[in-house]
Structure 1
Amino acid sequence: MIDLYAYATPNGRKPAILLEELGLPYEIHKVDIGKGDQFSKAFLAISPNNKIPAIVDRDNGLSVFESGAILMYLAEKYGQFLPTDLAAKTKVVEWLMFQMASVGPMFGQLGHFRNSAPEKINYAIARYEKEDLRLLGVLNRQLENNEFVVGDYSIADMALYPWIAAAASSYLQLPLDDFPSVQRWLNTVGNRPAVKIGMKIFAPDFSSQYANVLQTA
């Protein structure tokens, strides 16, 4: 059994997608970051950076924080969605780090300055929008000759999907017209049953045969 501590954000959805793909039983603990749940002492003991998501593996008592580390841990433990061949594994990890180091932070900054900053700063909005469009171009080129990001469907796809799916939303307002391969990939990945379920974590219509939803951490 896996305890998943999360919220309805792109990072929070990533491990839910993988848990659904693996078909593992898990309990979801809602960490309401709008209310400051992430700063509780109990959650700090699991996630030293006070960030969601985090997991606790009841098999061994191990806690893991940072979404990329969670994906790697689960994929390696259960031998799925991450190649064992060193070269192939390295390529998947490269694109996982592309999401962790670039897509997530840069998309997050655009979302902040578009929607949450106390004052509108046009320079910041333009800067992050330009960088996010560049990142979409990088991903589009990678997908021009690949059905999935790297070879077979992997944790790289699961990490990127929730963020890229948010690109054209009213929150980020990034046009995808110039990225046809990204659009095709979004449709392919988004039609997977596990992805559909993982993306609805904490939604009123969330339903999973594997998950039990608890209210708070």
Structure 2
Amino acid sequence: MRALQPFSLKPLLRRAMANESMERYRQAYIDYKTVLQIDSSIQAANDSANRITKTLIDQDGPSWREKLPPIPVVPVAAQLHRWDGGNLPSENKPSTTDLNREEQVQMNRMYSEEAMEKFKRLKNEGNDFVKTGEYEKAANKYSECMKLNTEECTVYTNRALCYLKLYKYEEAKRDCDHVLQIEDSNIKAFYRRALAYKGLQVRKKNMAGILKHF
């Protein structure tokens, strides 16, 4: 990846999103934290850093911070002079407030596009795993999708299917319940929740039968 101009905001954020999309979570976390030193008002960077923190805790456990590269310290000058007005007369330069607002809009738009592409890629990978019967791997891909979008019902009904195949009936029921809170007439969610209930009833009956022998 091409070297960045030190503490250049937009290229740094693009690199952070690229690292996140390629699941290089430690590098992405460092870049997002550096971005926030330059401009703490960028909500997309803050949200991403929080999301990656959860991923790193799951991945590395309580000592996840010890495995991070050092976070660069951004000089005060880089924090205070994020925009170079060149030779424009001072009265023609946009105000700092206007620049920050426009910058925030651009960053959020760029982040949304990157997140959407990552969501589609993960969903397609999950669908491919379902086709080959690799339900655990598929469920993991759908779980990654949910970190990016909790309102997309398809990934919940798809993960519910995976859980049914894995005999994880409580988890399947929970996913279907979530969908029905958003779309109360979702046929797949109703059907798969019914299968989850049936699986739970069979398991309960089998457990009762086993206990009779003790």
| Higher helix residue share | 2
Q: TM-score, normalised by structure 1?
A: 0.26
Flag the structure with larger Rg: 2
Structure with the higher fraction of residues in strand conformation: 1
Which fold has the larger relative contact order, with Cα–Cα distance below 8 Å and residues 6 or more apart in sequence?
Answer: 1
